[in-house]
Amino acid sequence: MRKLIIAVAAAAFSTAVSAQTVPSNGQVTKIDAAQNKLTLKHGPIKNLDMDGMTMVFSVADPAMLKTLKVGDKVKFDADRVNGRLTVTKIEKSK
């Protein structure tokens, strides 16, 4: 029984570690505040196994959009939230 508990705990830890987001670099190309969406030209997003491209994301918090403008370079985290590709954290880069 103890070996089973250890194996389950190790598997859960492994899954949690691999599911962590890694910040990606991008540039804001469009902001749609009415739809709570953001278009980013971005580099690879490792946790989503995605190559660099330009695409639309939902935002986890609409307040994120108030600090951004088209052309801003950003560092962001993205993940699947309720089946949608969603920016969960974003900050301007230098």
**Domains of the chain, start order:** 22-92 (2.40.50.320)
Q: Are 28 and 70 in contact (CB under 8 A)?
A: yes
* pLDDT tens per residue across span 13-29: 434 444 577 899 999 99
Q: Within 10 A of 48 (CB to CB), how many other CB atoms are there?
A: 14
Rounded Cα distance between 85 and 55, Å, is 10
**Per-residue pLDDT tens for 43-76?**
999 999 999 999 999 999 999 999 999 999 999 9
